[in-house]
Amino acid sequence: MNFGDLLMAKGQYQEKPDLPFTLGMEVAGTIREVGEGVEGFEPGMRVLVGGGSGGLADFGTFPATKAIRIPDSMSFTDAAAFQVAYGTSHVGLDYRARLQPGENLLVLGAAGGVGMTAIEIGKLMGAKVIACARGKEKLEVCKSAGADVLIDSETDDLREAVKAAGGADVIYDPVGGDQFRAAMRATNPEARILVVGFASGDIPQIPANHLLVKNLNIMGYYWGGYNRFKPEVLTNSMATLIRWYDEGKLKPHVGATLPLEQAGDAYELMRSRKSTGKVVVTTGRG
């Protein structure tokens, strides 16, 4: 499951499938049949699919162009939790923000699905990772993912804590709101801020004079948008990520696994922000 599924259910996501549709942006399983003319896939192959919708079902029909074969080392649970979260973080940090070794990366919402992957990928790219999350339990999860500095969004002064850690060169922000505003004031000159989403529900207004004084770059970033105008960015990124997984460099954090009959509970875990990492719904079919 993804936070985007919550927005899609309310008609607030960037993509709006025609009604009626089945929720579930990404899925993993075994191919049962292939359509006429499909090459490179056959029944029995294990794949992950970023179909955009249709994942919350025992069976689904998806374009072959959205399917990616997964290695034997990857479980279906990991595969279902893999593409959107890791893809979002890798393309954002590598292709968009050009994160460099030795830079300070601030991850907001760090205990969430994309936040955890941003910590992992940031460390793999050689950054010092500052993780901001709510509460001691979530911060411990961030620490286990490799975060160097931990900030409690409930009790710590975000701006001062980031400045004390050396300031931020890159900010990865799926939260928005007050955290965005505080983080922006703790940036180093020429910092890059990735606007990934607005989980807080608050879309911040950006004071242009602050950008001028510090030579800041604020980057709008929608991972799925590359499917339309530069799909090779996503293809190249996913090849790198699957290779890293197969080499043991990535370990998806699945905070909860629920059967399809409890899909509503999976949504509630995300809506209430009680989950860490990814929430995966299983059908038992594979």
pLDDT of 16 > 90? The answer is no
């800041």: which residue's tokens? 216
Task: For residues 243 and 12, give the distance between their C-alpha atoms in angstroms, rounded to a whole number.
Answer: 34
Encode pLDDT of 80-111 as tens digits: 999 999 999 999 999 999 999 999 999 999 99
At residue 285 the predicted structure's pLDDT band, cuts being 50, 70 and 90, is: low
pLDDT of 256 > 70? The answer is yes
What pLDDT is attached to residue 21?
Answer: 86
- How does the average pLDDT of the chain come out, rounded? 92
Tell me the DSSP string of 91-133: IIIIIIS---TT-EEEETTTTSHHHHHHHHHHHHTTPEEEEEE
166 or 202: whose pLDDT is higher?
A: 166
By mean pLDDT, which of 10-19, 53-62, 75-84, 161-170 is the weakest?
10-19
Encode pLDDT of 74-88 as tens digits: 999 999 999 999 999
User: Rg (Cα) of the chain, in Å, rounded?
Assistant: 19
134 or 201: whose pLDDT is higher?
A: 134
Structural domains in the chain, CATH included, are 3-82+252-282 (3.90.180.10), 101-225 (3.40.50.720)
What pLDDT is attached to residue 53?
Answer: 83
By mean pLDDT, which of 33-47, 139-153, 224-238, 269-283 is the weakest?
269-283
Q: Which amino acid is residue 184, in one-letter code?
A: M
At residue 207 the predicted structure's pLDDT band, cuts being 50, 70 and 90, is: confident
Task: For residues 250 and 228, give the distance between their C-alpha atoms in angstroms, rounded to a whole number.
Answer: 27
Encode pLDDT of 177-198 as tens digits: 999 999 999 999 999 999 998 8
At residue 261 the predicted structure's pLDDT band, cuts being 50, 70 and 90, is: very high
Query: For the chain, where are the E strands, in sequence order?
Result: 27-30, 46-49, 67-69, 104-107, 128-133, 149-152, 168-173, 187-195, 217-220, 254-259, 278-282
Separation in Å, CA 207 to CA 107, 247, 249? 21, 43, 39
Between CA 134 and CA 140, with CA 139 as vertex, the angle to 5 degrees is: 145
